[in-house]
Amino acid sequence: MSPKDITVVIPTYNRPESLHRAVESLFWQSVRKDGFSVLIADNSADASARFAFDALAGKAPDGVTLHYVHAPAPGVANARNAAMDALTTQLVAFLDDDQSAPVHWLEELLATYEGYGAAVTFGPISAELPDDITTHRSYFEDFFGREPRLREGFVDKPYGCGNSLLDTHQIPGGKPWFDIRMNEVGGEDDLLWARLKQAGRKFAWAPKATCYEHPLPQRVTLSYTLRRALAYGQGPCTLARRADPPRYASLAMWMGIGAGKFALHGLKWLALWAVRHPDRAFELDKAIRGLGKVLFWKEMKFYGAATVSQRPAPARPAVSADANDRGASRHTREPLPANR
C-alpha cells in the first residue's frame, strides 16, 4: 500500500476556522509528494464549508487532492456515510475537524497498518487546551486526549473514529457502515467496531501516529464532559439492546456493573471533593459512566441538530504541543460485549 491508496476524511459542521487548521495540517504531511486524497464531508444544511473548501483547494500542494461532498441531513453518521459512498480508495483515515495532524501522522498510521494488516489502526491524541484552563486541567487533558501508553501492535479494544485508519476491504456486510440511529448522540462507529470484532478482524495501535485535538472553549467544562461520560457509559447497553435479537441478559449484567461503579466511584468522589483534591473530577467521571449504564435509555444529543456551532473565542497564547500522559483514554470505547 502507498499513500495514494488513502483518503483522509474530515466530517465538518459550521467550523470554518477549525476546518482550515485541520486541512492545512495535511498539506505538510511527509507523504504529500507520494500523493493522497482529502475528502471534506460538509454536514451543514447550507453547504457552508464549500467556501472553505474552495479556498483550501487553491492552496493545496502538488500531490494532495481535495474532494468535497455535501451531506445536508444532520448527523455525524450521515456525514461519515456520505463520505464512504464517495470513497474511491481502499484505505480511509479519519481526522475530525477539531483536530490537526503533525507531519508524520499519515506516514506512521500507514507504517503500522503495513506491519500488522489490522482492519482499524488507531493513534494517540494530544489535547491542546488554553493556558487559562487551570481547574481540572489534567482531567480535561485526559478526557479530550487519547494516550494509553500502549506498545505498537494489536489491541483488544477499539477507540473513537477520530485518528484512525480503516481498511474498507475488511468490513463484512454492506453499507451503511455508520449507525444513523446514533446521529445525534455519538458512538456511530460502535456497531461497526462490534461487527469487525465479531468477524474476527483485528485492531492495532500506532503509538507514533499522534494527532492534536483543539476542543471548542465551550466544551472544556464539566457540564459538557460529564454529559459525554454518561453517553459513553451507555455504550455496552446500547449494543446489547440493538443486537439481533436483543441480549437482555447482557443488558441486565451491564446495568448491575454500572450501579456498582456509580456507588464505588461516587463515594470516592465525595471523599476527594471534601478535601478539594485536584483529581476529584476523574472519580466523578467514572461514577457518571456507571450511571450511564443504569440510565441506558436516556438520550444525550451532541451532533446533528444538537451540534453547537463554532463561536469566536478570545485570542489565547499558543499552547505547547507536547504529548500528555494519560492513564485510561476518554476516547476509549467501553468493552464490547462477547460475540453472540
User: pLDDT tens string for the chain (340 positions)?
Assistant: 888 999 999 999 999 999 999 999 999 999 999 999 999 999 999 999 999 999 999 999 999 999 999 999 999 999 999 999 999 999 999 999 999 999 999 999 999 999 999 999 999 999 999 999 999 999 999 999 998 889 999 999 999 999 999 999 999 999 999 999 878 777 789 889 999 999 999 999 999 999 999 999 989 999 999 999 999 999 899 889 988 899 999 999 999 999 999 999 999 999 999 999 999 999 999 999 999 999 999 887 775 555 544 344 443 333 333 333 333 333 444 444 333 3
**How far, in Å, CA of 232 to CA of 288, rounded?**
9
Residues 59 and 151 in one domain: yes
Would residue 325 count as lying in a domain? no
- Residue 121 maps to which CATH number? 3.90.550.10
DSSP state for residue 47 in the 8-state scheme: -
Statement to judge: residues 153 and 77 lie in one domain: yes
- Amino acid at site 274: A
In a domain, 313, yes or no: no
- Whether 224 is covered by a domain: the verdict is no
Do residues 193 and 261 share a domain? Answer: no
Using alpha carbons, list the distances in angstroms from residue 124 to 20, 142, 184, 239: 22, 11, 25, 25
Q: Which residues contact 312 (CB under 8 A, 6 or more apart)?
A: none
Q: Give 31's Cβ-side CA count (13 Å radius).
A: 23
Please give the grid coordinates belonging to residue 19: 476546518
Residue 190 covered by a domain: yes
Total domains, the chain: 2
Residue 255: φ, ψ to 5°: -65, -40
24 & 84 share domain: yes
167 and 266 fall within a common domain = no
| Residues 241, 212 share a domain | no
The span from the CA of 206 to the CA of 164, in Å, is: 9
What range does the domain containing 261 cover? 235-297
User: Nearest CA to 185 among 221, 223, 229, 231?
Assistant: 231
Residues 200 and 278 in one domain: no
Do 239 and 193 fall within a single domain? Answer: no
The backbone torsions φ and ψ at residue 125, rounded to the nearest 5 degrees and listed phi first, read -130, 130
Q: pTM score, two decimals?
A: 0.85
How far is Cα 142 from Cα 125, in angstroms, rounded to an integer?
10
| Distance from C-alpha of 188 to C-alpha of 54, rounded to nearest angstrom | 29
Contacts of 69 (CB under 8 A, 6+ apart): 39, 40, 41, 42, 82, 83, 85, 86
